[in-house]
Structure formats: C-alpha cells, structure tokens
Amino acid sequence: MIPQAAPARRIARFRAEIDAAVASVLGGDSYILGEAVESFERAFAEEAGAAHCVGVASGTDAIALGLRALGIGPGDEVIVPAMTFVGTAQAVLHCGALPRLVDVDPATRCIDVAAAAAAVGPHTAAIVPVHLFGHPAPMPALMELAGRHGLAVVEDCAQSHGASLDGRPLGGFGHAAAYSFYPTKNLGCVGDGGAVATNDARLAARLRALRNYGFDGPERISRVCGFNSRLDAIQAAILSVLLPHLRAGNAERLEIAARYRAALPAAAGLALPPDHGACVYHQFAITHPERDRLAAHLAAAGIGTAVHYTPGLHRHPVFAEAASGPLPVTDALADTLLSLPIQPEIAAEAPEAVAAALGTFSA
Ligand SMILES: Cc1ncc(COP(=O)(O)O)c(C=O)c1O
C-alpha cells in the first residue's frame, strides 16, 4: 500500500538527530520559548528570506495573529480564496473580522486577482492569498491591488515552505507570511506549530507580544490583550533538525511531480496540476470528473489519495454569509480535485503505480 501521507516515515529518516535534539530540550529548563525556539526562529527567518520570524502555536494562529498585528479587527473585511483549508478563513473570524470569499483561477487554483479586485468594498482591510499546494499565488498583481486600496496582505504559506516566485521567496511579498508546521507539511513537526515571518521590526515586536499575553518586555507588563500561542520548544528543536533538509525534500517533490507528468496517460478527463518550476508540490493534485470512482479504483490498487478540499469554504455553514457571489471555479474544483502521493518518503514508486492503475480505469 502506498499511503497518501505518512509523516512518521519522515521522522524515521532523521530519527537519531531528532532524538538528540529532543533530549537536549528535556535536559534543559526552557520548555517554553527559550533557546530552542529562538534558534529555530533565526534559522527559519534566514531560510524564508525574512528579517524576523515569530514562532506560534499553529498556522491558523499565525494568520490570525498576523492580521491582528496589522490592526485587523471588528468591522473589517478580509478577502480570502474559497478554495483553501478552513483554517485560512477561520483565522479571520478569530480577529472579529469577516472573510469575503472569492473564486480562484482554474489554471493555478490560487486566488483570482480580478475576483479579488471586484470584492474590494468600503470595509475591505486585508487580503490573505494562499499558495495552494505549493503553487505561487499571483503576488505582484495582488500587491498592486493592495497598494491601490491601502490593504494589508498576509500570505498564507502553510503549503509553500521554500517556494519562490521570479526568484523572490514567497512570503516576502506581503506585510507578513504565515506558516504551518502541521506534521504533513513540507516542513512539519510532531504536533501543532506555526510561525509568522516579516521584514517589519515593529510588526515582529507586536507579534511577540500577542503570542505571549501581550507582554512587551522582560518586565512582563501586559499592555494589550494577547494569547497563549507559542511555538513549543520540543517542536522547535525537531523543526531545527528538519529545516536543513527542506530544500532537498522540495527538490525530491519536484522530481516526483516530473515523473507523474511523464508517466500519467492522456486519459479522458484527467488534468494535471499547473507546471510551475518554482512550485514546491505540497500536493500533486489532479482533477478528474469521476474523482470519487477514481479514488476508489486507486485505493483498490493499493494507492492512497486525499481530497483537498471539498466543499469550497462558502459551502461550510460557518462561512454562510461570506461568499462574494457564485464561486463556480471553486465548486468545480471541490468536485474534481484528487491529491496523489508526493511525500518523498512514500512516493518513490507512486508515479508508475498510479499510471498502471489508470490504465485499467474504465471511463
Ligand atoms: C492553506 C492552509 N492554511 C492554514 C492552515 C492551518 O494550519 P494549522 O493546521 O497549523 O492551524 C493549513 C493547514 O493545516 C493550510 O493548509
């Protein structure tokens, strides 16, 4: 059986180093913040091409705290693509603001700039573009739109660690970038974790206060109402072990993607993901009009798949009021997307196995 994802196999690959890193945290007295978190923050800021990195408890918190630190709150609207994980838009609700869900581009599956422009209204205060499946959202056009209307931009980089666009690291276009270290991410820990990266020192200071009860210095005086949302020291130590392997892991994902492109037959209805050299393939998501029957056929052949994401966010009751209008591209993708195995530790045989199974799939 080839599973769709198996984070334990990545941990097993680097197990000896991870054990030593965890032992070092256990043997110290800084279980909350402290050196393990600070040294990961320094290393991750450098990898992300940002001046500052603030470790937080999850990717959802990273978006919510990033928006709050930029002043987003009640009465504000935030433009979010409807094809993403629910956490992207729930982070907006956590700030007391309202998500405004817009459609995505059928080719890139990322936010449609024209749809975002059409959704700007008097209460719009921010945009949260998502680099879905590791594919870059159209940042230059979005930054131009944001600049015209004075909007804040928090890039959702939960699926794009290490990706770039036109030679510039993703996450460096907006005012802040939010990362998730959920176990299956390109850089993932063994629990929840997240980070916000930014080039703005004042924003970073606000984020450090917000994640830790609003304390803004060693005197531990609380000036604003903050949260308990800190990256765990053990997770930070594990992430420091895995970070130097991120680029090699992304390169392996690119290779597996290229092998899928070479192996998969031009079968009726099958469409491959966009071919962008800088994509880091958090997922290799094909589309097929008979997605569920194809998933069952692949499962019978011993190949695990997953659906990211169905339904579109506007179809979740929690976002019932949030759609900017009909979202036909999101609806069509929600019915047809299917993520094939791409994690390097499990997908070595996957392209040829999927191709063989597709050969016996009767349309
Ligand atoms: C695109 C996207 N945004 C936000 C999140 C939320 O991250 P977390 O699960 O760490 O809260 C995730 C992943 O889980 C995600 O894939």
CA-63 nearest atom, ligand 1: 4
Domain boundaries, the chain: 7-102+109-244, 246-359
For residue 106, count CB atoms less than 10 angstroms from its CB and return exposed for 0-12, middle for 13-18, buried for 19 or more. middle
Task: Transcribe 168-190 into DSSP letters.
Answer: EETTSSSSEEEEE--TTSSS--S
Pocket lining: 309 vs ligand 1, CB cutoff 6 Å: no
Tell whether ligand 1 has an atom less than 6 A from the beta carbon of residue 154: no
**Which fold would CATH assign to domain 7-102+109-244?**
Aspartate Aminotransferase; domain 2 (3.40.640)
Q: Give Cα separations from 258 to 108, 156, 159, 339 (angstroms).
A: 17, 25, 19, 15
Q: Contact 191/18 with Cβ under 8 angstroms?
A: no
Distance 359 CA to ligand 1 centre (A): 34
Cβ(159) – ligand 1 distance below 6 Å: yes
User: Which atom of ligand 1 lies at the shortest distance from residue 182's CA?
Assistant: 10
Alpha helix locations (H) across 219-327? 233-242, 246-263, 291-300
Position 124 scores a pLDDT of 98
pLDDT of residue 17: 97
**Cα of 85 to ligand 1 centre, how many Å?**
6
Architecture of domain 246-359: Alpha-Beta Complex (3.90)
Cβ of 60 closer than 6 Å to ligand 1, yes or no, is yes
pLDDT score at 277:
85
In this prediction, residue 233 carries a pLDDT of: 98
| Conformation bin of residue 268: beta by default, left when phi > 0, alpha when psi is -120 to 50 | beta
What pLDDT does residue 315 have?
A: 97
Per-residue confidence in pLDDT tens, the chain, 363 aa:
999 999 999 999 999 999 999 999 999 989 999 999 999 999 999 999 999 999 999 999 999 999 999 999 999 999 999 999 999 999 999 999 999 999 999 999 999 999 999 999 999 999 999 999 999 999 999 999 999 999 999 999 999 999 999 999 999 999 999 999 999 999 999 999 999 999 999 999 999 999 999 998 889 999 999 999 999 999 999 999 999 999 999 999 999 999 999 999 887 789 999 998 889 999 999 999 999 999 999 999 999 999 999 999 999 999 988 988 999 999 999 999 999 999 999 998 999 999 999 999 986
Nearest residue (by CA) to ligand 1, atom 8, is 59
Q: Give the tokens for residue 175.
A: 């005012």
User: Nearest CA to 234 among 14, 26, 15, 16?
Assistant: 26
Residue-level pLDDT at 267: 78
Taking CA atoms only, the protein residue closest to ligand 1 atom 10 is 59
